[in-house]
Structure 1
Amino acid sequence: MSLQDFFRPDGRHLSRGGILLLMAPFFMLIAFAFLYPLISLLSLSVTEPTAGFDNYARILDNPVYGKVLLRTLWTALLVAITSLLLAFPVAMAMVSSSGPVAMLIGACILLPFWSSVLVRTAAWAVLLQRNGLINEAMQWFGITSEPIRLLYTQGAVVVAMTHVLMPFMVLPIYGALRNIPEDYGRAALICGAGPLRVFTEVTFPLALPGVLGGFILVFLTALGYFITPALLGSPQDMMIATLISQQLREFLDWPFAAALVGVLTLFVTAITLAFSKIFRFDRMMGGQV
């Protein structure tokens, strides 16, 4: 088989066989590093200590686990909404800017990728402690008369996770906004629409694929987040990833932890399928509308 067999007649695009050949190493890596461990872990949840669904029954019988799952879903939703509200203006500023200003905004968005999540979470722990910068600033401005509890709360978890995950919201929205022709906005203004109406009826609807792509990306990532909730949250605000870690490290209950992973996997899969059914994923990452 010659190299030409992997290209289409135009010589510029790969054939289906060429695409499969290039994707083969990626699929092998996914199968070895993700699918095999996941399937092995899920099989443990229905085979140990006895065959059956006893581990899943424990989750249904104890309302605490249901509350942890609902808290996880609620926290992930808050993080996704907050990230969207903060990311959209930033993405619009990136599209509207040029030269050094655009480079500065882009650097601020990409800079967090250069440090680990642990470092960024530890920085928030320093800022939110009783003698931290935020408490001292609020006392200096007269907002509070004494330090208040900011650390080890759900609010601290939401704020820190939003800071960590917001770049994953900005980039899809930025891609979608860049694909909107400038003539659309000018035409709306010529027809008598005000800036607010141009945004609500032209800009935002056309940017919706990027908004949805960023939202589902941040939401699904937040569902399984571990480091930030573990360091900044309290035991009363435990999320499911922290609960799984507790079952593994403290109780050594691998079958029950595997059942919790199965429940989380089920929720993530169901949410992903629901979004893929309603929206096309090839249009959700900033593609043309």
Structure 2
Amino acid sequence: MTLSAFFQPNGRRLSSAGIVLLMAPFFMLIAFAFLYPLLSLLSLSVTEPTPGFGNYAKILDNPVYGKVLLRTLWIAVLVSALSLVLAFPVAMAMVSSKGPMALFITACVLLPFWSSVLVRTAAWAVLLQRNGIINSALQFLGITSEPIRLLYTQGAVVVAMTHVLMPFMVLPIYGALRNIPADYGRAASICGAGPFRSFWEVTFPLALPGVLGGVILVFLTALGYFITPALLGSPQEMMIATLISQQLREFLDWPFAAALVGVLTLFVTAITLLFSRVFRFDRMLGGQL
């Protein structure tokens, strides 16, 4: 087979065979590092200790596990909503700024990628502890007379996860806003639209592909998040990733942990397909809705 077989007749674009050849190492890596371990774990959930769906029935029979799933969903929704509210102004500032200010804002957004999630989570633990800077500030301002419980709460988990995951919301929105011509806003102003109406009826609809992309990234990542809930959350309000870790490390119940992984995988897949069905990813990538 000659090299020309991997190019189209014009010689400028790869043929289907060329694309498959270039993508083959990536798909092999995915199959070896992700699909094979996942399928092996899922097979364990239906073969041990006895063949069948007993591990999944255990999840349905105990309402505690259902509450953990619902709590995980609720926290993922809160983190996604809070990230969107905080990320949109930052993305707009990145688009509208120029020179050193644009570099400064971009560096602030990208800086978290240069540090470990564990380090950022530990920093929140220091801030939220009983004698931390937040409690000290509240007492200094007279808002509280004694330290309040901030650490090991659901609020601490939501705030810290939002801080960690917000860059994944900022960057897609920034990419969408950057592709909106500035003439659209000026045209809306000429037609009599105020700043709010111009934003709501022109800017936001055109930025919606980036918004949806960011929401999907943050939401699906939050569903399986482990480090932040494990360090900042309460044992009475654990999320599903923490529950899976508990079953593996403390109870050594691999089949039941595999069943929990199966439920989480099914849940993530269903949500992804739902988003794909409702919002049409192919049209989002094309910049249309």
TM-score by length of 2: 0.98
Query: Which ranges in structure 2 are unaligned for 5 or more consecutive residues?
Result: none
Q: CA deviation at 1:17?
A: 1.1
Distance, in Å, in 2 between the alignment partners of 1:26 and 1:5 is: 21
Residue 162 (structure 1) aligns with: 162
Query: Which ranges in structure 1 are unaligned for 5 or more consecutive residues?
Result: none
Distance, in Å, in 1 between the alignment partners of 2:186 and 2:232 is: 47
1:64 and 2:68 are equivalent in the alignment: no
- Within 5 A, what are the aligned runs for 1:29-44? 29-44=29-44
Equivalent position amino acid for 1:154 in 2: Q
Q: Secondary structure at the match of 1:193?
A: coil
Equivalent position amino acid for 1:288 in 2: G
Range moving further from structure 2, 14-23 or 79-88: 14-23
Distance, in Å, in 2 between the alignment partners of 1:136 and 1:221 is: 33
Q: CA deviation at 1:259?
A: 0.3
Q: CA deviation at 1:278?
A: 1.2
Q: CA deviation at 1:279?
A: 1.6
Residue 131 (structure 1) aligns with: 131
Residue 94 (structure 1) aligns with: 94
Distance, in Å, in 1 between the alignment partners of 2:162 and 2:11 is: 45
Residue 212 (structure 1) aligns with: 212
Distance, in Å, in 2 between the alignment partners of 1:265 and 1:189 is: 47
- Within 5 A, what are the aligned runs for 1:115-264? 115-264=115-264
Q: Secondary structure at the match of 1:148?
A: coil
Q: CA deviation at 1:138?
A: 1.0
Equivalent position amino acid for 2:158 in 1: V
CA offsets per residue over residues 168-209 of structure 1, 9 Å max, x none?
000000000011111111111111111111000000000001
Contact 1:44 1:258 (C-alpha < 8 Å) held by counterparts: yes
Equivalent position amino acid for 2:33 in 1: A
1:288 and 2:287 are equivalent in the alignment: yes
Distance, in Å, in 2 between the alignment partners of 1:18 and 1:271 is: 33
Q: Secondary structure at the match of 2:161?
A: helix
- Give the superposed CA RMSD: 1.0
Distance, in Å, in 1 between the alignment partners of 2:224 and 2:110 is: 22
Residue 79 (structure 2) aligns with: 79
The ranges of structure 1 where at least 4 consecutive aligned residues each deviate by more than 4 angstroms after the TM superposition are none
Distance, in Å, in 2 between the alignment partners of 1:88 and 1:213 is: 13
TM-score by length of 1: 0.98
Q: CA deviation at 1:283?
A: 4.6
Residue 110 (structure 1) aligns with: 110
Contact 1:211 1:284 (C-alpha < 8 Å) held by counterparts: no
Distance, in Å, in 1 between the alignment partners of 2:200 and 2:105 is: 24
Contact 1:210 1:283 (C-alpha < 8 Å) held by counterparts: no
